[in-house]
Amino acid sequence: MNYLDIADRIWPLTRRAMGVHTLVYRLTGGLIGRTFPGGPEMLLLDHVGAKTGKKRTSPLLFIRDGEIPVIVASKGGYPKHPGWFHNLRANPETTIQIGPKRMQVRARVATPEERGRLWPKAVAAYGGYEQYQERTGREIPLVMLEPV
């Protein structure tokens, strides 16, 4: 059994945990769930399903490029991009929440130059990204969330 088989089996539990995380983050204005001891900050990303039109929210680690939040479309090193990445490609205008602050943003994939500069910063924030990149044949995109 490989890591993808295990991840697929625990996905329902992971999805529930993400839902609880999102609920607690929203209810506390990010007081709980924005950070974990020794970990990077997390934001809440709202996105609209590219096929379903259903509104979803995903808690995600992020780094900053100046004032611009940057998220990593790693999906744990899966062969395919995460659903939220496809949703943002179809509907790039969205909202995020960092702590108590909600803001309108426009998502775009980082340019190769930006990725080259920001990838080491993402790995420094969460070392698992390096293993995820080694596990997958795709280049893991970085997504810039530019305030509108």
Is residue 143 pLDDT above 60, yes or no?
Answer: yes
Residue 131 has what pLDDT?
94
Contacts of 15 (CB under 8 A, 6+ apart): none
The pLDDT tens digits of the residues spanning 67-91 come to 999 999 999 888 999 999 999 999 9
At 117, the pLDDT band (50, 70, 90 cuts) reads very high
Nearest CA to 70 out of 33, 28, 107, 23 is that of 107
> To 10 degrees, the CA torsion angle through 87, 143, 122, 39?
-50
Residue 17 has what pLDDT?
76
Average pLDDT estimate for 43-53: 96
Residue with tokens 């295990």: 6
Residues above pLDDT 70, as percent of the chain: 90
Q: For domain 3-147, which CATH number applies: 3.40.50.300, 2.60.40.10, 2.40.30.10, 2.30.110.10? A: 2.30.110.10
Which pair of tokens denotes residue 49? 């399903």
Strands 142-147 and 55-65: unpaired
Domain locations in the chain as residue ranges = 3-147
At 39, the pLDDT band (50, 70, 90 cuts) reads confident
Nearest CA to 76 out of 27, 132, 120 is that of 132
Provide the 8-state DSSP code for 110: P
Is residue 11 pLDDT above 60, yes or no?
Answer: no
pTM above 0.85, yes or no: yes
